[in-house]
Amino acid sequence: MSESACPTQLIDRLQRTVAPGRATLTPAEQDSLREVTARLVGALGPQAHAELATFRSIVDRRITVDDEAVDQVLTGAVVLVTGGTGTIGSALLRRLAEFRPARVVSISRGITAPVRVCPDVEYRTVDIRDLRALSTLAREIRPTVIFHLAAQHDPSLAEVDVAGTLSTNVGGTTNVLAVCRELPGVRLVHASTGKALRPFSPDVYAGSKKMAEWLLGRHTSAHHLLTSAVRFTHVVDNSIIARRLARWTARDEPIRLHGADTMFYVQSAREAADLLTSALVGGRPGVATVHTIRDLGWPVALLDLSLGWIADTGSRAPVYICGYEAGYESSPYPGLYDPRVSVERSPLVNALEAFSTVDATGSVDVDSYDVPAPTDLRPLVEIDGLTAEATVAVATAGETGAVDARTTARLRRQVESVGWTMLTGSLGSLPDAPLRRHLDLLAGLPEAQFGADNGTVRRLVLREATRRGFAGPTMDTVAS
């Protein structure tokens, strides 16, 4: 078989042509990559076109929702949507118009115009980081339903704008929860991310959203709130990947991919809006729930998608396997999924969460699980301190918005510290049965598969098992 007809050899050559980690490429290196890329487009053309077509078709995908039950909640409701000008926010506002709310108010910082203006929606300018302004609005309109979507959601930007991301994603969520405490009976649906399924992550974006989920669980149990969270994955309608591919192919610039075998789940904004509304149904005061779409389809192959984009546009852009950039996970926790409990559940639920996952009330296409009430409150102290420092840093940054390097580095270290504290606490509140099941899973995974952070996760699981006095073949096998 000739090289041009052997994709495996071409992919191997693509990875060896230029070493990962290069910020810029020489013209000669780009020419070499361009030649291999052209051969790959020729070899994988049909497959790449099919992947691009699949990616684009997801925009029309929806899930089934119990609209009658949702209508019972929304009829006559006063609805507040934070982040309503974004892609998902706009899709949600259009979805709400299908029901009978008495009033819908969308708030944002006013930096960007609505993706699509929805009739009968009131658009206000309020920054969720400003508790006084948010409380004033809440006292004025007295919402009975709140959808909290406002966030900084770009993982790469989060690694640069650490203070801004934390003040928005964590501080803003704290403020929304504070407002909920002043509104008896209000229902809150919080938009989270699939990245929060990681047991631990040093990444700022993932870490900030895990903190927000932890705060949701804490405030819900402590103040008897009625709340739920939904986890989104990559949304095709506002795809960061699609924007980058469009820019790179238009300029014939190198297409920078994390890895040749990288795959990712994708959903539509319409699915996101359906998931948000379905999460209104059911629930119990004092118990936070997490909702995820069960079937997200087969994950998209990043290399095939890129080659399809090149072929579709006729671009001469070369593909460069650059390695994982800051903010993106390079190797998932080896025990992330358990074949005994995870197969029939959403890929946005990890093995430690899947044990309590059930079919959601509001949709036959959604999984949900109860968030255990945090018993270890150390994360609360750490989160409050981190949020306060981030908020001050943003406020004193001036017109440039630049936060000094020392503060940024210190905040990043605190994200990691809180992450470990939250994990220790969540393991401590885990019932015996799922912990033992996870030990069995780890027993079949060689320790060499675990990197530095994942190895620490493993050790914390073993430490919790030891604390409870677990013994016998299961513990002996894992510890050996």
Q: What digits encode the pLDDT tens for the residues 222-279?
A: 999 999 999 999 999 999 999 999 999 999 999 999 999 999 999 999 999 999 999 9
- The Cα–Cα gap between 8 and 6 comes to 6
pLDDT in tens, 305-362: 999 999 999 999 999 999 887 767 778 999 999 998 899 999 999 999 998 999 999 9
- Residue 327 pLDDT: 67
216 to each of 174, 211, 268, how far by Cα in Å?
8, 9, 25
Torsion angle of C-alpha atoms 443, 448, 452, 453, degrees rounded to 10: -30
Please choose, from the candidates 389, 394, 433, the residue with its C-alpha nearest in 3D space to the C-alpha of residue 415.
389
Query: In order of start, what are the domains of the chain with their CATH numbers?
Result: 60-299+327-370 (3.40.50.720), 378-479 (no CATH)
| Amino acid 480: pLDDT | 42
Would you call 400 helix, strand, or coil by DSSP? Answer: coil
Element (H, E) at 437: helix 432-443
**DSSP reduced 3-state for 106:** strand
Q: What letter does residue 320 receive in the DSSP assignment?
A: E
Average pLDDT, stretch 184-197? Answer: 97
> What pLDDT sits at residue 471?
60
Binning pLDDT at 50, 70 and 90, where does residue 190 land?
Answer: very high
Q: How sure is the predictor about 399, in pLDDT bands with cuts at 50, 70 and 90?
A: low
What rounded mean pLDDT belongs to the chain?
Answer: 93
Q: What is the pLDDT of residue 281?
A: 96
- Cβ-proximal residues to 114 (8 Å cutoff; 6+ apart), any chain: 84, 85, 90, 106, 123
Please, which pLDDT band fits residue 472 given cuts at 50, 70 and 90?
Answer: very low
At residue 331, the pLDDT reads 83
Dig out the tokens for 418 from the structure: 């809180």
Tokens of 428: 């401590």
Kindly report, residue by residue over 76-90, the tens digit of the pLDDT.
Answer: 999 999 999 999 999
Is the pLDDT higher at 5 or at 114?
114
d(CA 393, CA 368): 37
**Residue 10 pLDDT greater than 80, yes or no:** yes
pLDDT of amino acid 98: 96
Using CB atoms within 10 Å of the CB of residue 119, give its burial: 0 to 12 exposed, 13 to 18 middle, 19+ buried.
Answer: exposed
For residue range 433-461, list pLDDT tens digits in order. 999 999 999 989 999 999 899 999 999 99
pLDDT beyond 70 at 5: no
Q: Which pLDDT tens digit goes with each residue over 124-146?
A: 999 999 999 999 999 999 999 99
